Amino acid sequence: MIPKIKIPKKAYPTIQIAKSILYLGESFPLKLIGKKILKDDYQTRSLKDEIASLRQAIEDLKTQDQELIEQGLVHLHLQDEIKPLKHIKNYFKILKNVIPSSYQKKYNVNKHFSSEAEANLEGTPDYYKRNFHFQIDGYGTKESAEIYDHQVDILFSGLSDAMRRTVLKPLSLRYEPTDHFRVLELGCGTGSATQWISKAYPNAEIIGVDLSEAYLNECRLKNLPNFTGLKMAAESLDFDDADFDVVCSVFLTHELPQKVITEIFKEAHRVLKDGGLIVTVDSLQSGDRPEYEEGLEVFPQEFHEPFFKAYTQTPLQKHYKKAGFKDIQQWLNIVKCVSGTKPLPTSKKS
């Protein structure tokens, strides 16, 4: 067995830049094929613009990550960052999918599934049964789950893990790395955010729920010792009242109709203990950072995100208040993180 090699803190920026260059490079063949198929409909940015915004994003996330490393919450290991065989295998799968996926995009086909996906998606809500991101088979197959993390990294030029780690910011204000507490993660998917919570807080008990058994299975392959995955809708949780200390989600809310967002925060409020913490990490919203406003307009057209526009126009803070959360705080980098607490009951004066 290869020993685990810890990446020294000083090497972090170099590793992150190398990772970003790799994924940016991998995006070019995909863009070239997409452009051939979509022709004039293909939206593109100049390489100069792309590199400028990437540099800004790397800078934004670097400080946050270095603080988290300093606090002993993020431990980077070479083996976790570099898995050459898996990487190459998945990149070929992504290359294979780019042609059908570009045709889906060209003809706006967003509810097309194989029989494997049909079977896996049976019983899930209608808003969910679609090819988000023009992804082949949506969230319905093993292959979709295998390539999901890699696809997201190509989309965000290798920054997606650093973006997800923002979830640790509000947790770090409340918990020490050795603390024991119960976390519910909504829409945990393949565990790409879960793994960071699990490593930062090895004594926490993490329950992840997701509508996709295929994604949960991929998550289980990460072998996180303090994690249990359950197939369940976030808007209809099969847990007792006041069962968790923390409820969190990463990149879930922008894929939900507004009505469902209201329901999931209501459920989160119910299953949280008094004083419990809610944390949501997702895309920036309208008005958060003017320099990203144009990107928020383009994203939903390019990636079949039918609920994204409404998401950007209704601040998460407004949803929190409606559900009854207090002490609302936000962190903005290239993502938005909002935390809140379920208030303690006010004692009645006699």
Ligand X SMILES: C[S@@+](CC[C@H](N)C(=O)[O-])C[C@H]1O[C@@H](n2cnc3c(N)ncnc32)[C@H](O)[C@@H]1O
- List 210, 218, 245, 267, residue binding ligand X (CB under 6 A): 210
Least distance from ligand X to the Cβ atom of residue 164, Å: 5
Least distance from ligand X to the Cβ atom of residue 37, Å: 24
Least distance from ligand X to the Cβ atom of residue 308, Å: 11
Is 212 near ligand X (CB under 6 A)? yes
How far, in Å, are 39, 50, 58, 161 from residue 13 at the CA level?
Answer: 37, 19, 9, 14
Least distance from ligand X to the Cβ atom of residue 332, Å: 18
β-pair partners for 244: 272
Q: What does the angle CA 307 – CA 296 – CA 166 come to, to the nearest 5 degrees? A: 90
For residues 58 and 47, give the distance between their C-alpha atoms in angstroms, rounded to a whole number. 16
Contacting range for ligand X; rule: CB under 6 A; set: 97-105, 229-237, 292-300, 341-349: 229-237
Least distance from ligand X to the Cβ atom of residue 132, Å: 7
For residues 257 and 308, give the distance between their C-alpha atoms in angstroms, rounded to a whole number. 9
* Window 170 to 209, contacts with ligand X (CB under 6 A): 186-189, 192-193, 209
Least distance from ligand X to the Cβ atom of residue 250, Å: 4
For residues 306 and 230, give the distance between their C-alpha atoms in angstroms, rounded to a whole number. 26
Is 307 near ligand X (CB under 6 A)? no
Cβ atoms of 271 and 183 closer than 8 Å: no
For residues 88 and 1, give the distance between their C-alpha atoms in angstroms, rounded to a whole number. 21
How far, in Å, are 97, 299, 306, 337 from residue 302 at the CA level?
Answer: 16, 5, 11, 24
Least distance from ligand X to the Cβ atom of residue 32, Å: 25
For residues 274 and 268, give the distance between their C-alpha atoms in angstroms, rounded to a whole number. 12
For residues 286 and 312, give the distance between their C-alpha atoms in angstroms, rounded to a whole number. 5
Least distance from ligand X to the Cβ atom of residue 83, Å: 17
For ligand X, the closer of residues 76 and 211 by Cβ is 211
Is 211 near ligand X (CB under 6 A)? yes
Is 146 near ligand X (CB under 6 A)? no
235-254 mask for ligand X (x: CB under 6 A)? x--------------xxx--
Q: What does the angle CA 303 – CA 308 – CA 309 come to, to the nearest 5 degrees? A: 115
Cβ atoms of 121 and 141 closer than 8 Å: no
- List 68, 74, 117, 233, residue binding ligand X (CB under 6 A): 233
Least distance from ligand X to the Cβ atom of residue 186, Å: 6
Is 144 near ligand X (CB under 6 A)? no
Is 128 near ligand X (CB under 6 A)? yes
Is 61 near ligand X (CB under 6 A)? no
For ligand X, the closer of residues 54 and 209 by Cβ is 209
Token pair for 166? 């923002």
For ligand X, the closer of residues 52 and 134 by Cβ is 134
For ligand X, the closer of residues 14 and 223 by Cβ is 223
For residues 300 and 282, give the distance between their C-alpha atoms in angstroms, rounded to a whole number. 14
For ligand X, the closer of residues 23 and 139 by Cβ is 139
Cβ atoms of 189 and 164 closer than 8 Å: no
Positions touching ligand X (CB under 6 A) are 128, 139, 164, 186-189, 192-193, 209-212, 215, 233-235, 250-252, 255
